[in-house]
């Protein structure tokens, strides 16, 4: 724990997040893509499977899980060795924006990079974002022709994107093994990590007053990371797993649902209380406050238009 003194309000938020993390951990792990690398014992297999699993961790949770099961079955019991040896394109399934050829090209590129470097940790000697940029560019080059599907799979931090899946990969690699994250690398410290921002995390961050921007981009991720670093300067992504699964599990619907909100450890901080007029409402920009003050029916209609149970 940092020696910095937190305010009473920050302490209440931190306590609420700790309670949320404890409540969600066991059930959420069964639905999280980190379950795939955690199946393996060897360090090299955990790293290789973490790379694959994190980059395909978007879309419907069940569809993503089924796709990764097929890919890992194709790689066999020693996935790192299989990637380094090279695998054929046969029986490689497509996934959403990636064709079968895209998936095969990515797996081949990852295998070539791992064969030459042994570990991806070496990309991160100069820093986290610099390492992600270098690694993503290297994998893109190894893929050959950069299709739209591969460009989506391998985003560049320099584009201004939040690069949620890349930062989630780093969280797995860098944070200590706590039963969720893997703690495989020492080249980076947890304090150098950035919050992996997707639609679920962005929505909840706004409701908690932890961010003010509406677009979940790089700047949003930096703002949110800074807010959480006030609670844990040495470990700002400590609550990423819990915040993400609060949305993924639909324990938070983005609107007031009394049966859910009453049991939420963050209710005292959340703007959604009392139909959008909760205790944090006045701290938000007027347009953001108005967004959360819509009627339950309008909010429900908005939620229904989005992909249910998805990760982007």
Residue 84 is predicted with a pLDDT of: 97
Q: Are residues 37 and 178 in the same domain?
A: yes
pLDDT tens per residue across span 261-280: 888 888 888 887 644 445 45
Q: Are residues 140 and 239 in the same domain?
A: no
Is residue 23 in some structural domain?
no
**Mean pLDDT of all residues in 238-244:** 93
The pLDDT-based confidence of 239 (bands split at 50, 70, 90) is very high
The pLDDT-based confidence of 24 (bands split at 50, 70, 90) is confident
Q: Are residues 269 and 158 in the same domain?
A: no
Which has the minimum average pLDDT: 119-128, 151-160, 184-193, 248-257? 248-257
Domain limit, last residue, from 182, 211, 245: 182
pLDDT tens per residue across span 178-211: 999 999 999 999 999 999 999 889 999 999 999 9
Is residue 136 in some structural domain?
yes
Domain limit, last residue, from 149, 182, 215: 182
Residue 298 is predicted with a pLDDT of: 38
Is residue 57 in some structural domain?
yes
Residue 299 is predicted with a pLDDT of: 37
Is residue 13 in some structural domain?
no
Is residue 18 in some structural domain?
no
Q: How many domains does the chain have?
A: 2
User: Which helix (DSSP H) or strand (DSSP E) does residue 60 occupy?
Assistant: strand 59-60
**∠ Cα 171 167 193 (to 5°):** 60
Average pLDDT of the chain to the nearest whole number: 87
Compute the distance between CA of residue 43 and CA of residue 180 in angstroms, rounded to an integer: 15
Q: Are residues 169 and 239 in the same domain?
A: no
Q: Are residues 203 and 178 in the same domain?
A: no
Q: Phi/psi zone of residue 122: left (φ > 0), alpha (ψ -120 to 50 degrees), beta?
A: alpha
Q: Are residues 40 and 153 in the same domain?
A: yes
Q: Are residues 141 and 255 in the same domain?
A: no
**Mean pLDDT of all residues in 211-237:** 96
Residue 287 is predicted with a pLDDT of: 58
Domain limit, last residue, from 153, 182, 211: 182
Q: Are residues 48 and 158 in the same domain?
A: yes
Q: Are residues 297 and 210 in the same domain?
A: yes
Is residue 189 in some structural domain?
no
Q: Are residues 210 and 177 in the same domain?
A: no
**Mean pLDDT of all residues in 248-253:** 81
Residue 166 is predicted with a pLDDT of: 99
Q: Are residues 100 and 55 in the same domain?
A: yes
Q: What is the pTM of this model?
A: 0.87
Nearest Cα to Cα of residue 251 among 191, 283, 204, 198: 204
Is residue 102 in some structural domain?
yes
Which has the minimum average pLDDT: 2-11, 12-21, 109-118? 2-11
Residue 134 is predicted with a pLDDT of: 98
User: Which structural domain, as residue segments, surrounds residue 162?
Assistant: 33-182
Q: Where are the alpha helices (DSSP H) in the chain?
A: 8-29, 43-55, 61-75, 79-85, 100-117, 128-143, 148-153, 164-174, 199-207, 218-229, 240-248, 258-261, 273-276, 286-292, 296-305
Q: Are residues 203 and 158 in the same domain?
A: no
Give the three-class secondary structure for 133: helix
**Mean pLDDT of all residues in 211-221:** 94
Is residue 239 in some structural domain?
yes
């Amino acid at each position: 724990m940092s020696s910095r003194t937190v305010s009473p309000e920050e302490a209440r938020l931190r306590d609420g997040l700790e309670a949320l993390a404890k409540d969600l951990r066991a059930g959420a792990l069964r639905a999280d893509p980190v379950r795939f690398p955690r199946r393996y014992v060897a360090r090299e297999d955990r790293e290789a499977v973490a790379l694959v699993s994190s980059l395909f961790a978007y879309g419907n949770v069940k569809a993503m899980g089924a796709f990764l099961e097929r890919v890992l079955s194709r790689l066999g019991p020693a996935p790192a060795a299989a990637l380094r040896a090279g695998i054929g394109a046969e029986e490689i399934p497509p996934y959403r924006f990636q064709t079968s050829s895209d998936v095969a090209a990515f797996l081949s590129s990852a295998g070539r990079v791992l064969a030459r470097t042994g570990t991806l940790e070496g990309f991160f000697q100069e820093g986290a974002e610099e390492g992600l940029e270098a690694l993503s560019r290297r994998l893109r080059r190894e893929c050959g022709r950069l299709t739209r599907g591969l460009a989506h799979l391998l985003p560049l931090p320099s584009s201004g994107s939040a690069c949620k899946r890349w930062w989630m990969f780093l969280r797995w690699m860098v944070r200590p093994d706590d039963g969720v994250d893997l703690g495989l690398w020492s080249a980076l410290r947890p304090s150098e990590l950035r919050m992996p921002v997707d639609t679920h995390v962005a929505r909840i961050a706004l409701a908690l007053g932890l961010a003010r921007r509406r677009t979940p981009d790089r700047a949003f991720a930096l703002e949110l990371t800074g807010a959480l670093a006030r609670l844990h300067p040495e470990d700002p992504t400590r609550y990423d797993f819990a915040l993400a699964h609060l949305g993924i599990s639909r324990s938070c619907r983005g609107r007031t649902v009394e049966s859910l909100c009453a049991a939420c450890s963050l209710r005292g901080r959340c703007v959604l209380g009392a139909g959008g007029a909760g205790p944090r409402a006045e701290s938000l920009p007027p347009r953001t406050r108005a967004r959360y003050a819509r009627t339950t029916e309008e909010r429900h209609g908005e939620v229904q238009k989005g992909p249910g149970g998805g990760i982007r």
